[in-house]
Amino acid sequence: MKIGVNVPNFGPGTNPDVLRRWAQTVEGLGFDLLMVSDHIAVTADVAEQYPAPFYEPFTTLAWLAGITDRVRLGTTILVAPYRHPLLTARMAANLHQLSGGRLVLGVGVGWARQEFAALGVPFQHRGRLTDEHLAAIRDAWANDTDYRAGQIPIWIGGNSDAGLTRAVRLDAAWHPLRFTLPWLRAALHRLKAAADEQRRPVPALAPRIALRLTTTPVTGPARLAGEGTIEQIVDDLDQLRLLGSETVVLDPFNGDPHETHRPQAAWHALATVAAHWNLNDHHR
Protein backbone atom coordinates (compact mmCIF):
# COMPACT_ATOMS: atom_id res chain seq x y z
CA MET A 1 0.00 0.00 0.00
CA LYS A 2 1.30 3.42 -0.97
CA ILE A 3 1.01 6.51 1.23
CA GLY A 4 0.47 10.03 -0.06
CA VAL A 5 0.14 13.48 1.48
CA ASN A 6 -2.37 16.26 0.82
CA VAL A 7 -0.32 19.48 0.84
CA PRO A 8 -2.13 22.77 1.59
CA ASN A 9 -1.67 24.94 -1.50
CA PHE A 10 -3.63 27.77 0.12
CA GLY A 11 -3.78 29.92 3.22
CA PRO A 12 -2.02 32.92 4.71
CA GLY A 13 1.18 31.03 5.55
CA THR A 14 1.58 29.43 2.11
CA ASN A 15 4.07 30.83 -0.39
CA PRO A 16 6.47 29.38 -2.97
CA ASP A 17 9.20 28.73 -0.41
CA VAL A 18 6.81 26.88 1.91
CA LEU A 19 5.45 24.81 -1.00
CA ARG A 20 9.02 23.92 -1.97
CA ARG A 21 9.76 22.82 1.59
CA TRP A 22 6.56 20.77 1.67
CA ALA A 23 7.61 18.96 -1.50
CA GLN A 24 11.11 18.34 -0.20
CA THR A 25 9.71 17.03 3.09
CA VAL A 26 7.15 14.72 1.48
CA GLU A 27 9.65 13.27 -0.99
CA GLY A 28 12.50 13.20 1.50
CA LEU A 29 10.49 11.19 4.04
CA GLY A 30 9.73 8.57 1.39
CA PHE A 31 6.04 9.24 0.77
CA ASP A 32 4.73 8.08 -2.60
CA LEU A 33 2.39 10.88 -3.62
CA LEU A 34 1.95 14.64 -3.14
CA MET A 35 -1.52 16.04 -3.81
CA VAL A 36 -3.04 19.54 -3.84
CA SER A 37 -6.55 21.01 -3.90
CA ASP A 38 -8.44 23.00 -6.53
CA HIS A 39 -10.20 26.34 -6.44
CA ILE A 40 -10.04 29.02 -9.11
CA ALA A 41 -12.21 31.91 -7.88
CA VAL A 42 -11.72 32.29 -4.12
CA THR A 43 -15.29 33.44 -3.50
CA ALA A 44 -16.60 34.05 0.02
CA ASP A 45 -17.77 30.46 0.50
CA VAL A 46 -14.33 29.16 -0.52
CA ALA A 47 -12.34 31.76 1.43
CA GLU A 48 -14.11 30.85 4.65
CA GLN A 49 -12.41 27.45 4.59
CA TYR A 50 -9.48 27.94 2.20
CA PRO A 51 -8.40 31.60 2.22
CA ALA A 52 -6.09 33.22 -0.30
CA PRO A 53 -3.53 32.87 -1.59
CA PHE A 54 -4.74 29.78 -3.42
CA TYR A 55 -2.21 28.29 -5.83
CA GLU A 56 -3.82 26.76 -8.93
CA PRO A 57 -3.14 23.00 -8.93
CA PHE A 58 -1.82 22.38 -12.45
CA THR A 59 0.52 25.37 -12.24
CA THR A 60 1.71 24.35 -8.79
CA LEU A 61 2.23 20.68 -9.66
CA ALA A 62 4.11 21.57 -12.85
CA TRP A 63 6.49 23.67 -10.79
CA LEU A 64 6.84 21.02 -8.10
CA ALA A 65 7.54 18.41 -10.79
CA GLY A 66 10.68 20.34 -11.64
CA ILE A 67 11.99 20.35 -8.06
CA THR A 68 11.19 16.72 -7.23
CA ASP A 69 12.44 13.49 -8.75
CA ARG A 70 10.38 10.53 -7.57
CA VAL A 71 7.16 11.47 -5.80
CA ARG A 72 3.94 11.20 -7.79
CA LEU A 73 1.86 14.37 -8.13
CA GLY A 74 -1.91 14.64 -7.98
CA THR A 75 -5.12 16.54 -7.36
CA THR A 76 -7.47 15.92 -4.45
CA ILE A 77 -9.63 16.97 -5.98
CA LEU A 78 -9.82 18.82 -9.29
CA VAL A 79 -13.34 20.23 -9.77
CA ALA A 80 -14.10 18.85 -13.22
CA PRO A 81 -16.75 21.38 -14.36
CA TYR A 82 -14.50 24.40 -13.72
CA ARG A 83 -12.43 23.99 -16.90
CA HIS A 84 -13.20 23.07 -20.48
CA PRO A 85 -12.55 19.32 -20.72
CA LEU A 86 -10.08 19.69 -23.59
CA LEU A 87 -8.11 22.20 -21.53
CA THR A 88 -8.04 19.78 -18.60
CA ALA A 89 -7.05 16.94 -20.91
CA ARG A 90 -4.24 19.01 -22.41
CA MET A 91 -2.86 20.25 -19.09
CA ALA A 92 -3.04 16.82 -17.51
CA ALA A 93 -1.39 15.11 -20.48
CA ASN A 94 1.39 17.71 -20.64
CA LEU A 95 2.01 17.57 -16.89
CA HIS A 96 2.10 13.77 -17.00
CA GLN A 97 4.63 13.85 -19.83
CA LEU A 98 6.79 16.63 -18.35
CA SER A 99 6.91 14.92 -14.94
CA GLY A 100 7.93 11.55 -16.32
CA GLY A 101 4.53 9.90 -15.89
CA ARG A 102 3.89 10.95 -12.30
CA LEU A 103 0.37 12.44 -12.44
CA VAL A 104 -2.70 11.15 -10.60
CA LEU A 105 -5.89 13.01 -11.59
CA GLY A 106 -8.37 13.05 -8.73
CA VAL A 107 -11.63 14.70 -9.79
CA GLY A 108 -14.96 15.60 -8.25
CA VAL A 109 -18.13 17.60 -8.80
CA GLY A 110 -17.40 20.49 -6.40
CA TRP A 111 -19.47 22.16 -3.70
CA ALA A 112 -18.92 25.97 -3.74
CA ARG A 113 -22.07 27.57 -5.19
CA GLN A 114 -20.61 31.07 -5.34
CA GLU A 115 -17.52 29.86 -7.15
CA PHE A 116 -19.65 28.05 -9.74
CA ALA A 117 -21.59 31.30 -10.26
CA ALA A 118 -18.39 33.33 -10.61
CA LEU A 119 -17.17 30.92 -13.30
CA GLY A 120 -20.50 30.87 -15.12
CA VAL A 121 -21.00 27.13 -14.56
CA PRO A 122 -24.48 25.89 -13.52
CA PHE A 123 -24.16 24.40 -10.03
CA GLN A 124 -27.27 22.24 -10.40
CA HIS A 125 -25.76 20.43 -13.40
CA ARG A 126 -22.34 19.74 -11.88
CA GLY A 127 -22.82 15.96 -11.72
CA ARG A 128 -23.82 15.64 -15.35
CA LEU A 129 -21.08 18.04 -16.41
CA THR A 130 -18.50 15.99 -14.51
CA ASP A 131 -19.56 12.83 -16.34
CA GLU A 132 -19.48 14.60 -19.71
CA HIS A 133 -16.10 16.19 -19.04
CA LEU A 134 -14.52 12.92 -17.95
CA ALA A 135 -15.80 11.20 -21.07
CA ALA A 136 -14.38 13.98 -23.24
CA ILE A 137 -11.03 13.90 -21.40
CA ARG A 138 -10.66 10.16 -21.84
CA ASP A 139 -11.70 10.40 -25.47
CA ALA A 140 -9.05 13.06 -26.11
CA TRP A 141 -6.38 10.94 -24.44
CA ALA A 142 -7.39 7.83 -26.37
CA ASN A 143 -7.99 9.25 -29.85
CA ASP A 144 -5.87 12.37 -30.30
CA THR A 145 -2.18 11.51 -30.55
CA ASP A 146 -1.31 15.14 -29.89
CA TYR A 147 -2.34 14.65 -26.25
CA ARG A 148 0.01 11.68 -25.71
CA ALA A 149 -1.31 11.15 -22.18
CA GLY A 150 -0.17 7.62 -21.49
CA GLN A 151 -1.88 6.00 -18.53
CA ILE A 152 -3.03 8.70 -16.14
CA PRO A 153 -4.83 7.20 -13.12
CA ILE A 154 -8.22 8.81 -12.46
CA TRP A 155 -9.66 8.90 -8.94
CA ILE A 156 -13.29 9.87 -8.31
CA GLY A 157 -13.62 11.93 -5.14
CA GLY A 158 -16.68 12.24 -2.95
CA ASN A 159 -18.40 10.38 -0.14
CA SER A 160 -21.91 10.29 -1.61
CA ASP A 161 -23.53 7.30 -3.25
CA ALA A 162 -23.40 9.31 -6.49
CA GLY A 163 -19.62 9.52 -6.13
CA LEU A 164 -19.05 5.83 -5.54
CA THR A 165 -21.49 4.93 -8.32
CA ARG A 166 -19.60 7.26 -10.67
CA ALA A 167 -16.35 5.47 -9.76
CA VAL A 168 -17.94 2.13 -10.67
CA ARG A 169 -19.40 3.42 -13.93
CA LEU A 170 -16.13 5.02 -15.05
CA ASP A 171 -13.89 2.16 -13.87
CA ALA A 172 -11.87 4.63 -11.79
CA ALA A 173 -10.56 4.41 -8.24
CA TRP A 174 -12.91 5.63 -5.52
CA HIS A 175 -11.43 8.44 -3.41
CA PRO A 176 -13.53 9.05 -0.27
CA LEU A 177 -12.47 11.90 1.99
CA ARG A 178 -12.07 12.10 5.81
CA PHE A 179 -14.35 9.53 7.43
CA THR A 180 -14.65 7.10 10.31
CA LEU A 181 -13.67 3.50 9.68
CA PRO A 182 -17.19 2.18 10.47
CA TRP A 183 -18.57 4.57 7.84
CA LEU A 184 -16.07 3.29 5.27
CA ARG A 185 -16.88 -0.34 5.98
CA ALA A 186 -20.57 0.36 5.36
CA ALA A 187 -19.76 2.39 2.24
CA LEU A 188 -17.69 -0.45 0.82
CA HIS A 189 -20.78 -2.67 0.97
CA ARG A 190 -22.65 -0.01 -1.04
CA LEU A 191 -19.71 0.15 -3.48
CA LYS A 192 -19.86 -3.62 -3.98
CA ALA A 193 -23.63 -3.47 -4.46
CA ALA A 194 -23.28 -0.71 -7.05
CA ALA A 195 -20.64 -2.73 -8.91
CA ASP A 196 -22.83 -5.84 -8.87
CA GLU A 197 -25.84 -3.84 -10.10
CA GLN A 198 -23.84 -2.44 -13.01
CA ARG A 199 -22.10 -5.79 -13.59
CA ARG A 200 -18.76 -4.07 -13.38
CA PRO A 201 -15.63 -4.67 -11.27
CA VAL A 202 -15.38 -3.14 -7.82
CA PRO A 203 -13.21 -0.02 -8.19
CA ALA A 204 -9.83 0.36 -6.54
CA LEU A 205 -9.89 2.14 -3.18
CA ALA A 206 -7.73 5.24 -2.62
CA PRO A 207 -9.02 7.10 0.44
CA ARG A 208 -7.90 10.40 1.94
CA ILE A 209 -7.89 10.40 5.74
CA ALA A 210 -7.12 12.93 8.43
CA LEU A 211 -3.70 13.22 10.02
CA ARG A 212 -3.99 14.62 13.53
CA LEU A 213 -1.32 13.25 15.84
CA THR A 214 -2.10 13.36 19.57
CA THR A 215 -0.24 12.31 22.70
CA THR A 216 -3.25 10.57 24.24
CA PRO A 217 -5.74 8.27 22.50
CA VAL A 218 -8.78 9.73 20.77
CA THR A 219 -11.91 7.73 21.56
CA GLY A 220 -15.56 7.78 20.66
CA PRO A 221 -17.58 6.97 17.56
CA ALA A 222 -16.81 10.30 15.88
CA ARG A 223 -13.03 9.65 15.72
CA LEU A 224 -11.87 10.05 12.15
CA ALA A 225 -9.43 7.60 10.65
CA GLY A 226 -6.00 9.17 11.10
CA GLU A 227 -6.78 10.93 14.39
CA GLY A 228 -5.05 9.93 17.60
CA THR A 229 -1.77 8.51 18.81
CA ILE A 230 0.77 7.12 16.39
CA GLU A 231 -0.34 3.65 17.42
CA GLN A 232 -3.93 4.47 16.46
CA ILE A 233 -2.84 5.99 13.14
CA VAL A 234 -0.69 3.00 12.23
CA ASP A 235 -3.57 0.68 13.14
CA ASP A 236 -5.88 2.74 10.92
CA LEU A 237 -3.43 2.35 8.04
CA ASP A 238 -3.32 -1.39 8.66
CA GLN A 239 -7.12 -1.55 8.67
CA LEU A 240 -7.29 0.41 5.42
CA ARG A 241 -4.75 -1.96 3.87
CA LEU A 242 -6.85 -4.95 4.92
CA LEU A 243 -9.92 -3.27 3.40
CA GLY A 244 -8.12 -3.18 0.06
CA SER A 245 -6.73 0.34 -0.15
CA GLU A 246 -4.08 0.65 -2.85
CA THR A 247 -3.10 4.17 -1.75
CA VAL A 248 -3.98 6.19 1.35
CA VAL A 249 -3.56 9.97 1.33
CA LEU A 250 -2.85 11.66 4.67
CA ASP A 251 -4.42 15.10 5.12
CA PRO A 252 -2.60 17.08 7.84
CA PHE A 253 -4.78 20.20 7.38
CA ASN A 254 -7.41 20.17 10.11
CA GLY A 255 -9.47 23.19 9.19
CA ASP A 256 -7.73 26.22 10.73
CA PRO A 257 -6.10 28.41 8.05
CA HIS A 258 -3.61 29.65 10.64
CA GLU A 259 -2.11 26.14 10.58
CA THR A 260 -0.44 27.18 7.33
CA HIS A 261 1.79 29.52 9.34
CA ARG A 262 3.09 26.49 11.28
CA PRO A 263 3.77 23.69 8.79
CA GLN A 264 6.44 22.26 11.10
CA ALA A 265 3.72 20.58 13.20
CA ALA A 266 2.41 18.74 10.14
CA TRP A 267 5.95 17.84 9.06
CA HIS A 268 6.61 16.37 12.51
CA ALA A 269 3.45 14.27 12.28
CA LEU A 270 4.45 13.04 8.82
CA ALA A 271 7.96 12.18 10.04
CA THR A 272 6.44 10.21 12.91
CA VAL A 273 4.22 8.24 10.53
CA ALA A 274 7.15 7.65 8.18
CA ALA A 275 9.28 6.31 11.03
CA HIS A 276 6.60 3.94 12.30
CA TRP A 277 5.27 2.79 8.93
CA ASN A 278 8.82 2.46 7.54
CA LEU A 279 7.95 3.92 4.15
CA ASN A 280 11.21 3.16 2.40
CA ASP A 281 10.78 -0.61 2.56
CA HIS A 282 7.35 -1.19 4.04
CA HIS A 283 5.02 -0.69 1.07
CA ARG A 284 2.92 -3.63 2.22
- Are 203 and 173 in contact by the 8 Å Cβ rule? The answer is yes
Q: Is the pLDDT of residue 214 over 90?
A: yes
Please report the pLDDT score of residue 198 as a whole number. Answer: 96
Banded model confidence at residue 252, pLDDT cuts 50, 70, 90: very high
Q: Which domain holds residue 37?
A: 2-276
Output the DSSP codes for the chain.
-EEEEE---BSTT--HHHHHHHHHHHHHTT-SEEEE---SS--HHHHTTSPSPB--HHHHHHHHHHT-SS-EEEEEEEEGGGS-HHHHHHHHHHHHHHTTS-EEEEEE----HHHHHHHT--GGGHHHHHHHHHHHHHHHHHH-TTT------EEEE-SSHHHHHHHHHHT-EEE-BS--HHHHHHHHHHHHHHHHHHT-PPPPB--EEE-EE-SS---STTPPTTEE-HHHHHHHHHHHHHTTBSEEEEE---S-GGGGG-HHHHHHHHHHHHHHHTTTT---
Q: Is the pLDDT of residue 282 over 80?
A: no
Q: Is the pLDDT of residue 281 over 60?
A: no
Q: What is the mean pLDDT of residues 194-219?
A: 98
Banded model confidence at residue 284, pLDDT cuts 50, 70, 90: very low
How does pLDDT run across 94-149, given as a tens digit for each residue?
A: 999 999 999 999 999 999 999 999 999 999 999 999 999 999 999 999 987 777 77
282 in a structural domain: no
180 in a structural domain: yes
Please report the pLDDT score of residue 283 as a whole number. Answer: 45
Please report the pLDDT score of residue 74 as a whole number. Answer: 98
Q: What is the mean pLDDT of residues 67-80?
A: 97
Q: How far apart are CA 72 and CA 77, in angstroms?
A: 15
138 in a structural domain: yes
Q: Is the pLDDT of residue 248 over 90?
A: yes
Instruction: Supply the mean pLDDT for the chain.
Output: 95
For the chain, the domain total comes to 1
- Are 109 and 126 in contact by the 8 Å Cβ rule? The answer is yes
247 in a structural domain: yes
Q: Is the pLDDT of residue 280 over 60?
A: no
How does pLDDT run across 40-49, given as a tens digit for each residue?
A: 999 999 999 9
126 in a structural domain: yes
186 in a structural domain: yes
CB hemisphere CA count around 200 (13 angstroms): 17
Q: What is the mean pLDDT of residues 56-69?
A: 98
Please report the pLDDT score of residue 146 as a whole number. Answer: 76
Q: How far apart are CA 22 and CA 27, in angstroms?
A: 9
283 in a structural domain: no
Q: What is the mean pLDDT of residues 149-172?
A: 94
Q: What is the CATH number of the domain that holds 268?
A: 3.20.20.30
72 in a structural domain: yes
Percent of the chain exceeding pLDDT 70 equals 98
**Residue 206: C-alpha distances to residues 14, 198, 246 (Å):** 26, 21, 6
Please report the pLDDT score of residue 183 as a whole number. Answer: 98
